[in-house]
Every structure is written in structure tokens, then in C-alpha cells.
Structure 1
Amino acid sequence: MLLLDDIGGEVRRGLGHQGEQGTVNYRTIVLAETHPIFTECLLGMLGIKREYTPVLDCTTLDQMLSAAPDREDTLLFLNLDATASRGSAALTDVRKAYKHARLVLICDEADTGLAHYALGNGVDWVLYKTASVSELRSTTKRIKTGIADDITVEESDAVIERSTLYSKLANLTPKQMTILRYLRDGLLNKQIAYELSLTEATVKHHISLILKKLNCYRRTQAVAIANRMM
């Protein structure tokens, strides 16, 4: 997969530092995942031992963005639920900070729309927690070889629609994502203003921008998207 740098040029990503039998020797592992048992099993499948390879556990997106050097032998694991608030926009943030490191998106459930969006926006591999053991082994094998996945999910209308919605949500600012969550939870403008220490006029302005970015005409449409996607 090719990435674009800040001026639109291609950033080519190779196979990193090759080990024996075509495997990549990842020198640093960064984990943003909330379930330690799963991460330890994952590291075991990859043949990575904490006593030999630095493994950095992150609980926030900000920690992840500055946790490790931007090198092809840095391996990032990101669960969007582990970083809170940013949603699919977190992928953009990670790729701005790491143009060369390899990125694995961990999904709590199978979501082909998210996989389609992610693989088209800088993610190298998508790993579902609900996958079978054989599927997990297949994915970890590809991670060890350093060969990124292509967008191979079925491009049905439903998948494309969901992928497009993730793309729109990624355009929201952190403040707008927070406001959208409050809208989803049924809070009124006055309540949102109180929670965020903003004026009602500022909240209304943010909501107008949210509706525009999501291509919605009514507040209820944005709430419906939030209920589906967040």
C-alpha cells in the first residue's frame, strides 16, 4: 500500500528489516488495546516476547502518537475504542504521526465497512477479535512477513455506504465528535453547553458544522448516523 506525504508525494513502504525466512524483525511494538489477555495472545502468535522486544501499552491516542520512532520496524496496534472520542479520525492522526510504521487496526466485531475505509486510509492489516483462531493465525502470519493487505472486502452498496460514513466522521474535530456523542445520548444544546463550558451559540455553530460535514439536513439524521456508527 502507498501513502501520500504532506505534499502529495508517494511514501513507499517496504518490508522493513527482514529476519529469517522472510519475516520482519519489528523493533518496537505499540499497543492501544484495552484487553490484556487478547494482546498477550496476539503477541504470542507473532512470536514477540516483552523481555526481548519493547512493547509500549498506550491508554490514550496522544500517548500512541508520540510513543515510538516512525520506522518500518515499528508495529502499531490500534483499537478505536481504546483511544475514545476520535473514532475513525484517529487513523488520520496516527498516519500523520507515523508515515512509515506499520499499522494494525483491531476491531471488536467484524465491520467490513470500517475495514474498507481503514485499508484505503493507511491501515496495513485489519484484525477482528471475533475471527476464528485460523483466521487470526493467517493475519498474524501476514503481519510477520510485512506484506500489507489489499482492500479485498466485498464492495456491496452497504459496505461502500458504511465506509463513506466513516470517511465523513473522520472529518469531524474532537470537539465535534464529543458534541455528536452528546446528541446521540439525547442531550439538549443547553446541557451540552454546560458539559463543555461553551455558550449555546457555540454549540449551535458546531452542530451546524456537524450537519454539513455529515451531509445531513436535520439533527435527527446526524443522531441516526451516530447510533449506527459510534
Structure 2
Amino acid sequence: MVRVVVVDDEPMVCGFLRTILGSADDIEVVAEAHDGAAGVEEVVRHRPDLVLMDLRMPGVDGLTAIERIQELPDPPAVVVLTTFDADQYVMRALRAGAAGFLVKSTPPEELIGLVRVAAEGHTVLSAAAARRLVAASADESSARDQARELVRTLTEREAEVLAGLGEGLSNAQIAARLHLSEATIKGYVSRVLEKLRCRNRTQAGLVAHEAGVVRAES
């Protein structure tokens, strides 16, 4: 069972998400909160697998809440809820440790699948969305230079694995592309995250886009 906490200052949004996610046999919304501070409290109380977090809320906003959640021992995956995907707050949230984002207009059937994916520890961020976020970043130039410097510390194989992360591929998909075992790829991913000082696959994927190592056709 995937246990979810929903944090949004609009009770209607929380109710909608509770109804949609509750229709799945393997997902349970264990709590909802309407500001960031209350959201962190619910995470501490319920220890969910996943948090759906709005960013723009009065009082403690979603970005601050994400930062506080990341400081917890064994924090849950956090997926940002946003109205439009070029929001600069989204980029800041991803750099703070969010595993990805969902646009609030996401169709219900897709929402359930993406929640399952995020709860399993995978990225909820398409390559196209990552490109838009990187292009819209106010500090694009400095981020690009920093990303390229980090990527220079990788071996050629590690850079290939990083490119796969930038495309949002799973370990199995990267393994198939590189003709390696999934266990070997898992080891490479761990080393890439460590070298790039990234908390998760999503942050590494952003580095891949900023450094320009993602395949053009992705």
C-alpha cells in the first residue's frame, strides 16, 4: 500500500486528490494539510511513502516544507503540485530534493500511475519538462558551468548512465541500452549521485540537462 500525504491550501484540490487516489486499491491518502508547517507535521506523524506538495501556500510555503522534510531521517519522496511546469519555484523545489512534479491538470488515470512510480523511487519528470525548466532558469549560465565541471569528474560509462537519468529512464532501460545488468547500473547510479552530490535521480537528471549530456532525440 502506497501511503500518501497531500499538502495544498485549497481544500477542493485535496478533496479531488483524495477521491482520485482513493479509487486505487494500492494507494491510501493518510492525511492532508493546508500549509507547509502542518504538512511537515503530518509527515512526521504518519511517515508516508509519498508527499504531494503544493508550492504556493500562505505561511510556510511548499519550498520551505520540502527543505524541512529532506532533513528528516529517511524522508519520503516528495512530488510537487504545480499549475504550470515552467514555474521557477519548481526548479528550486527539485534542487531542494523533490523527486519531480505533477501539473494539477494531469488526467486522473495518469495521476495514479505517476504516484506509483514516484513511490517506487523513480523520477517523475519528463526529459521535455526538464529541458523547459533548465531553459527558463534565471541562473542558466552559472548552473551550466557548474554542471559541466561536475560531469568532468565522471567516467565515460558514468556519463552514459547520467544521460539515461536525464531522459528519465529506469535502471532496467539504461541496462538494456548499455548492454549491462540492472545490478551493475544500480551501482553506477549510486556512484553518479555521490560524485555529483545529488540527493536523487531527479537532481542528477537536471545536471545532465544543464551539462548538455542528454541525447538530442530524448
- The TM tier, using the shorter chain, reads 0.3 to 0.5
Higher normalized helix content (fraction of residues)? 2
TM-score in terms of structure 2 length:
0.47
Structure whose CA Rg is larger:
1
